Chains A and B, each alone.
Chain A
């Protein structure tokens, strides 16, 4: 084990390999408040990458309803229970990561789902506690709420899958930080399936190898956002490059949201992987639950987000989500317009801070017909 600095938990931690950050890190921000769980992202990924034999059960992208939804079953609860109660001391995590809590003979604390755990991708969908008065029997010790959590591989800075592979078949690309399983080298031991806390590595029983989200790297290499991003009809996602906090730039949209405004937070940062998909937490769910999922930054993130309507920079940047199929490395606001920019400052797309509203009269007096909105 080596010592590696993990800024998400505010301290150094034990990891199987020394710290070795890529030249730049693929990262994403998902605005949970805008997700409607239409699963278009899930299908976009499924039809692009996992239509083969042995991949039938795989969802490299899935959307689950929290608090009860989970794919595979109890992916989060099982590990949190295994890890036991841990504490944050302010912004520093005082508990043990899954690398530090590894049992004897293991590299990582983990568990492996049973085959049937993958059989219920819609479990808990749209379940909340709000219909008790209408006959729902479900009772839970919290308020009536739910939200949708879209999940892909987090392309972690300290991937547990990579640390656990005894063959070195998993690698993190130095050029973009995307984590891949080398399909020519994998022998299907499934240590990675056991180790990944997000359960985003899947075993293909018909090829005998494990497979995972590849962040659509053939698109990334062309400067394009992945399939699950560009097909998102809720426009909740933005892909880009995230700097380490000490090199954060205000004109980098990912840096701005994650490091400067701190409105987007990592998923289960206490596990120690430094995941690179960041979530703007839902404004309507209890802090206690959200803090377990996204760490101690939740209350401040929600507070900042709620002030969005009076915050033209934040609101403007959020307006860039879903406005282009290109990866957005830079951005700039000019009065009531926000521009997505390329590395060299050239404009990719420009959107208004507020979409103009046009109202047509229901009756077209010129043609003497009633207008309809049917296509």
Chain B
């Protein structure tokens, strides 16, 4: 018993020395804000190696549980954020863990999604992080996996969702109508009500992202002239999504603002207000004006 104790006493300093000698470089301290690194050209693809050199901010996600309908079951714990700017545009690369790929829409199927939110006006106090507030709007860029799949080439028909679906007839595909002709297209649009009234949710979809603005919960509206872009890629662990938007002029002059993020896990039926979100996070330009 005594011999065993003696060995232990000797072993402890040796182990300490070995550990000290083999110690890796200490990880950089966690960022206190999302730092927007300067770059010559925006890396638009999520897998672009240029992203590797950009500092990463790990944002804790919390459940949206302030307004009904609330999310009461936690899902995605965190989102990893990198940001760059070329002086006129800024890009965020958002990455998060997600075991399931949910990109197929259906009556009871929900799709994976994420969003970036910034206050429209940069001022000392920020609007409410939950979609802004009346008179104090927020700008949002929203990406979802179903739109990404469509942009990546998945078709826009019931058989693209259910490959064995049998459909007898669509009136707008009658033999008397020339496929692709103006009358045929006009009739097809009439049979897609949301598309007919110009709801941008309804496609046809050319981008996996949508520009939105809001002044409080329930006020989300599309920005008609929004021109943000995006690209999402399924990774081994989950999703990696790049969202590119205009660099706010006020941010160029002041150098810092606030940003918030949200993630929807389709496999948990998260949609709309049922989401995991961050609080406002400080956002700083790496090179201040």
Seen from chain A, the residues whose Cβ lies within 8 Å of a Cβ on chain B are: 51-57, 104-107, 112-115, 117-118, 164, 166-168, 183-191, 193, 202-209, 211
User: How many contacts between A and B, using CB within 8 angstroms?
Assistant: 125
- Contact: B193 with A183, CB < 8 Å? yes
Per-residue 0/1 for B169-208: is the Cβ within 8 Å of any A Cβ (1 yes, 0 no)? 1111000000000000000100111111111011100000
Query: Inside 8 A of A206's CB, which chain B residues have their CB?
Result: 105, 156-158, 161, 192, 203
- Contact: B202 with A208, CB < 8 Å? yes
Q: Which residue of B lies closest to A58 (CB)?
A: B107
Q: How far is the CA of A191 from the CA of B108 in the complex (A)?
A: 11
Give the interface SS of chain A, mostly helix, strand, loop or mixed: loop
Q: A106 is contacted by which of B68, B157, B272 (Cβ under 8 Å)? A: B68
Q: A56-B167, A105-B68, A207-B192 are in contact. Are A166 and B201 (CB under 8 A)?
A: no
Query: Inside 8 A of A208's CB, which chain B residues have their CB?
Result: 105, 194, 201-203
B121 proximal to A (CB < 8 A): no
A-contacting 9-mer, from B54-62, B69-77, B93-101, B229-237 = B69-77
Query: Inside 8 A of A57's CB, which chain B residues have their CB?
Result: 107
Most buried by B among A53, A55, A104, A164: A53
- Contact: B201 with A105, CB < 8 Å? no
Query: Inside 8 A of B218's CB, which chain A residues have their CB?
Result: 166-168
20 additional contacts (CB under 8 A) given A106-B70, A115-B106: A51-B170, A51-B191, A52-B192, A56-B167, A57-B107, A105-B71, A106-B68, A113-B107, A164-B69, A183-B193, A186-B199, A186-B201, A190-B107, A202-B107, A204-B194, A205-B106, A207-B192, A208-B202, A208-B203, A209-B199
Q: Which residue of B lies closest to A188 (CB)?
A: B201
* Chain B proximity of A24: nearest CB distance (Å): 25
Q: A106-B69, A115-B109, A166-B67 are in contact. Are A52 and B170 (CB under 8 A)?
A: yes
Query: Inside 8 A of A117's CB, which chain B residues have their CB?
Result: 108
Question: What's the interface size class on B, roughly?
Answer: 35 or more
B286 proximal to A (CB < 8 A): no
Q: Which residue of B lies closest to A102 (CB)?
A: B68
Q: B199 is contacted by which of A115, A164, A166, A207 (Cβ under 8 Å)? A: A207
Can you list 30 contacts pairing A with B, beta carbon distance less than 8 Å? A51-B169, A51-B171, A52-B170, A52-B191, A56-B165, A56-B167, A104-B72, A105-B65, A105-B69, A105-B71, A106-B68, A106-B69, A106-B70, A107-B69, A113-B107, A115-B106, A117-B108, A164-B69, A166-B272, A167-B218, A183-B197, A183-B199, A185-B199, A189-B272, A191-B272, A203-B106, A207-B199, A208-B194, A208-B201, A208-B203
Query: Inside 8 A of B151's CB, which chain A residues have their CB?
Result: none
Q: A209 is contacted by which of B69, B169, B202, B271 (Cβ under 8 Å)? A: B202
- Contact: B158 with A56, CB < 8 Å? yes
Q: Which residue of A lies closest to B271 (CB)?
A: A189
Seen from chain B, the residues whose Cβ lies within 8 Å of a Cβ on chain A are: 65, 67-72, 105-109, 156-158, 161, 165, 167, 169-172, 188, 191-199, 201-203, 217-218, 220, 269, 271-273
- Contact: A187 with B201, CB < 8 Å? yes
Q: How far is the CA of A53 from the CA of B173 in the complex (A)?
A: 11
Q: Which residue of B lies closest to A112 (CB)?
A: B108
Q: How far is the CA of A216 from the CA of B22 in the complex (A)?
A: 77
Q: How far is the CA of A191 from the CA of B269 in the complex (A)?
A: 11
* Chain B proximity of A139: nearest CB distance (Å): 32
Query: Inside 8 A of B188's CB, which chain A residues have their CB?
Result: 52-53
* Chain B proximity of A7: nearest CB distance (Å): 27
- Contact: A166 with B69, CB < 8 Å? yes
Q: How far is the CA of A166 from the CA of B219 in the complex (A)?
A: 9
Q: How far is the CA of A205 from the CA of B149 in the complex (A)?
A: 14
Q: A56-B165, A56-B167, A166-B69 are in contact. Are A184 and B199 (CB under 8 A)?
A: yes
User: Lowest 8 A-B CB distances belong to which pairs?
Assistant: A52-B191, A105-B70, A189-B272, A207-B202, A205-B105, A209-B194, A207-B194, A208-B201
* Chain A proximity of B248: nearest CB distance (Å): 25
- Contact: B69 with A191, CB < 8 Å? yes
Q: How far is the CA of A333 from the CA of B193 in the complex (A)?
A: 43
Query: Inside 8 A of B273's CB, which chain A residues have their CB?
Result: 166, 189
Q: Which residue of B lies closest to A193 (CB)?
A: B107
